[in-house]
Structure 1
């Protein structure tokens, strides 16, 4: 009997078509009605799931009696209940590395857009306000030669640091659990305590996974250390930053600004953030280019097929599942 693959998002039919002879393939689509209903109907027969942006745990997977593997088209995996998956022996894979450079591009876009007040001044210009040379009330701040602080110098953090160092001549500070001597030498980066990083950086960029330890990593105390001239950039996970504390700091201008790709609640449709000129908001687009999303889907499909064929997937998150 063929195994069944359920593609619940982010995979094109053409990508799965070559495997239709070997697997029964179910591809969910908004054109076919309610997505949750489609998922629930197909789940009992599914041996493998592939997609992203769906929270999956004990309740959601109760009927998935045949499930062997979930291949997530994402780097982060906080949407998945690892303890439950381990107890069921269900493998979980992700797509690391593929989106490092694209996410770093976005981080730097947010740095530049926030520092030079691009969205704000774009709106101001289009509203017909440019009747004379601008004055200091519309000035931004420089990026080149400033200090970039990165909390968590992993692959994405490293890619951001390279852009800062070699593209803009920035000084690089970093904090985290592990020192990176090679990068210190290559980038001139300095490993410092987090409090020092916050107080000395012009731009602060946390690039960490969401865990119990990193939830609200940047709160009221940390924002006060960033100070009135500092800018916060978040392309990691929304709950890494205490969003209420950030809004208060932006409203009171106790920090200069923020560039945000991620939020505590997503999609974000109504927020005090939208009323503020000193914050740039984009809708979680860190990996959202055609090239990168295609590469992520292909990597996820490779992981899925390896798992279904009894091999150890390249990007297995929970090796504990195979020990059940």
Structure 2
């Protein structure tokens, strides 16, 4: 009988599917994840690992566990896994890319609104007992209707986010991708543009690409300096796609207007990060997939991949 290690406390729907298939399933039921030593020791005694992006499955870990028949990720991305080593060792890797499309598009949309209206900052003022008198020109936000939204990475999530922007606010959609998509352009009246044009034309830029060597810290000082001074930068994809120091500088110098992040670089973000006290910034702790529906579907797909 194949032995499966579920290394994180996933929704029960995934566990039930595994056991229904007759797989001997061991589940880590604690809320906090395993430490590296615990993960290594446990994996040595199992044939299949159901893992997550919180674990670093590097070359050393994979070499020590070359007996594995499969790694099934409870995540859309797999940049935590040394894929080159996995291929060399003949260990297949599966993920759950379709489960969190709507949930992540929603959090990107929510961050865009939160930044545009300085919601996090204003909420903090209430907590600080600083409701204050009515001041007609203090802490003003901006409206989004009719603005131009630029999508970096027009995959499933980028498309879902663009649909929300176009549908709710009539925003004009431009996008930069590896290739143009004529069907999508017709559906959303979207325009494929160069990266430089995306930076210069967009009132809001939302990142939805994978983290690769090509996209790593793509949004850096050079990129921010080409954006409008009134632009919002939203990243719900991977923190490594933006250079955080350059982003902080761009916001402090008013090179761009605001930023909304569900991912940070590095991650997790430290509590003394200056982004957390800026009035034109909203940060959430990588909760893009944190809905009941998305997490249940992720668990189901991760189990079905096995």
Scaled to the shorter chain, the TM-score interval is over 0.9
Quote the residue 2:125 is aligned against.
Answer: 124
| Alignment map for 1:256-295 (pairs within 5 Å) | 256-270=257-271, 271-295=273-297
Match of 1:40 in 2: 40
TM-score by length of 2: 0.93
Local SS of the residue matching 2:138: helix
Residue 16, structure 1, aligned to residue 1, structure 2: no
Contact 1:233 1:260 (C-alpha < 8 Å) held by counterparts: yes
- Per the alignment, residue 304 of structure 2 pairs with 302
**Which residue in 1 is equivalent to 2:51?**
51
Cα distance, 1:287–1:252 mapped onto 2, change above 3 Å? same
Match in the other structure for 1:5:
4
Contact residue 10 and residue 297 of structure 1 kept, 8 A? no
Q: Hey, what does 2:175 align to over in structure 1?
A: 174
Residues 131-140 or 172-181, more deviating = 131-140
Q: What is the CA distance between 1:31 and its match in structure 2? A: 7.5
Change (3 A) 1:196 1:293: same
What secondary structure, in the 3-state scheme, does the structure 1 residue paired with 2:63 have? coil
Who is 1:228 aligned against? Answer: 229
CA distance in structure 2 between the partners assigned to 1:172 and 1:13 by the alignment: 39
Aligned residues: 303
Alpha-carbon distance between aligned partners in 2 of 1:96 and 1:44, rounded to the nearest angstrom: 27
Counterpart-to-counterpart distance in 1, 2:266 and 2:228: 26
**Structure 1 residue 232 displacement after superposition:** 0.1
Inter-partner Cα distance in structure 1 for 2:32 and 2:298? 25
- Which secondary structure does the structure 1 equivalent of 2:259 belong to? strand
Aligned to 2:27: 27
d(CA) in 2 for partners of 1:31, 1:109: 27
Q: 1:289: how far off? A: 1.0
1:46, 1:64 within 8 Å by CA — same for their partners in 2? no
2:201–2:228 Cα contact (<8 Å) kept? no
Q: Distance in 2 between matches of 1:168 and 1:200?
A: 17
Name segments (4+ residues, structure 1) moved above 6 Å.
Answer: none
Deviation at 1:137, TM superposition (A): 2.4
C-alpha spacing 1:99/1:32, structure 2 compared with 1 (3 Å):
closer
Does the Cα contact within 8 Å between 1:45 and 1:64 map onto a contact in 2?
no
RMSD between aligned residues: 1.9
The change in CA–CA distance for 1:12 and 1:163 in structure 2 (over 3 A counts) is closer
Segments of 5+ residues of structure 1 without an aligned counterpart are 305-324
**Alpha carbons 1:57, 1:85 under 8 Å: kept:** no
Length-normalised TM-score, structure 1: 0.88
Instruction: Provide the C-alpha distance between the structure 2 equivalents of 1:33 and 1:167, rounded to a whole number of angstroms.
Output: 39
Deviations 1:156-199 (A, max 9, x none): 11001000111111011111211111111111111111111111
Look up the SS of the partner of 2:126 in the other structure. Answer: helix
Q: C-alpha distance in 2, partners of 1:144/1:123? A: 26
**Residue 138 of structure 1: how far off its partner (Å):** 1.6
Alpha-carbon separation, structure 2, partners of 1:210 and 1:245: 18
Q: CA deviation at 1:153?
A: 0.9
Matches of 1:32 and 1:206, distance apart in 2: 29
Q: Note closer, same or farther for the CA distance 1:302–1:161 as it changes in structure 2 (3 Å cut).
A: same
Q: How does 1:67-82 map to 2 (within 5 A)?
A: 67-82=68-83
In 2: Cα distance, 1:96 partner to 1:178 partner:
20
CA shift at 1:236, angstroms?
0.7
Stretches of structure 2 that go unaligned for 5 or more consecutive residues are none
Question: Cα distance, 1:58 vs. partner?
Answer: 1.8
The separation in 2 between residues aligned to 1:201 and 1:115, in whole angstroms, is: 14
